[in-house]
Structure 1
Amino acid sequence: MRVALFLTCVNDTLYPDTGRAVVRLLTRLGVDVDFPSTQGCCGQAHYNTGYRHLAEPLARRFSEVFREYEAVVTPSGSCAAMVRELYPRLGERARAEGRGGGLAAALAPVARKTYELTEFLVDVLGVTDVGAYYPHRVTYHPTCHGLRALGLGDRPLRLLRAVRGLELVDLPGAEECCGFGGTFALKNPDVSAAMGVDKVRSAESTGAAVLCAGDNSCLLHIGGTMARLGSGLRPVHIAEILADTAEERVA
């Protein structure tokens, strides 16, 4: 299977270690991962702020870059949801506006083969025990796009429960938004900050050392809140937990 990593803008700019973790993890599982250097933004930021037509060329570019791969894996529920849920809408709206079906035809194939990391592991590779070792008490925050748009369900939890040394504890109010929401945090900063505090206080109540999630954009918001509150918690992407092994810790 030809598999490509779609890193995303946030990870490429701020969290490259998450991308490296995905490559280590998938390579360990026998997957040959390619990283097309011509990849760029999926257009989510443009679409979500109302610039739908400006998102179209980015979506078309995405389809061109990843066209030849059998699967596209991304460590981001929000970007995976953009491709899977909103690319088809972009194509159909272009068709409805009388601009032909070219965009819809270009986007449909890539939308069907784009996966968030945990669903690729569980649904495509058929694994939950990835050979990871992470000796920490961890709580998991299901991000909004992963929870509601992609319907990831318990896939991330099943993966975390199989990690040796990891103690997984339930997060109170887990399904409540952390308050990031892209431009929501910019347009409603007071509400966003309050929601972030609620999320951090809930995580602290578990006694966990680590709060993990599948979106670094949410972890950026939560981590900033942790820093302002002086919390002892650490925000960690689930890919970095799943990529960790006892052998690497000894080395």
Structure 2
Amino acid sequence: MGWLRDNWLDAVIFVLFALVVAGVVLFLTGVNPFARPPASPAQATPAQTPPPASQTPPQTPTTANPPVQVIPVLPKAPSETPPPAPAPAATQPTPANPSPAVTPAPRPAPATGSWRVAVGAFSDAANANRLADSLRAQGYAVQLEPAGSVTRVVLGPFPSEERARAVAQGLSQYETRVYRGTVPTNPPSSMNNPSRYLQVGAFRNSVSAEALVSQLKAAGYPVVLAREGELIRVRVGPLSEDRLEATKSALRGLGLSPLEVR
């Protein structure tokens, strides 16, 4: 012990040097003197087993007001079955007080029969033509016939006297006359002796016919109109035998082509 007391510093230095050498050796060999030894398989911690079903921890109870889930509305797929045909509309009931029906103008009578209705006779052929146009617009079959020095407006012919009188009653505003044949039963005296006429034009347009009528009347000629189908024939007359040739020459001087007719 006397040596240790006298040489303690050397002993300490020796111990420290030995520890350093031991540490270097352990470091180089990879030995860790402070590591715990590995546990044996028998001492291994047993694996945890899941608790039995009866011991499953209770789930957290839902709240009283769960959150609202918004579900998008998808469009409905079109049906493959064709839609049913619409039901026919119900017939409208007839009103209790229907409005009075408007009676249409009578249709033109067929060009058969021998009964006629004379509506008027005019010394001015233009007036006769205007009346004929008015009656024709109402649906009547109208004829213009020369009767002496006047133009007669005639409706027909009609197949029976009853039909002709029914038409005449519908024209009470005029002085009508129902007759059979081509001449009224009580014609003017001038119609008993037929005279000659000179036809100077035939027109489809009533305005053109009236223009020629005005020209001839301004020259002092008696003018009548005759309608045949869609043509309005302008005639000068009636003329006596002694005036016929002179009138023809005068009309040719006006640039017209007179044609003698009865």
Q: Which category of TM-score, normalised to the shorter sequence, fits these structures?
A: under 0.3
Greater helix content = 1
Q: TM-score if structure 2 supplies the norm length?
A: 0.20
Q: Indicate the structure (1 or 2) with the bigger Cα radius of gyration.
A: 2
Greater strand content = 2
**Which gives a bigger RCO, structure 1 or 2 (Cα 8 Å, sep 6+)?**
1
Q: TM-score if structure 1 supplies the norm length?
A: 0.21
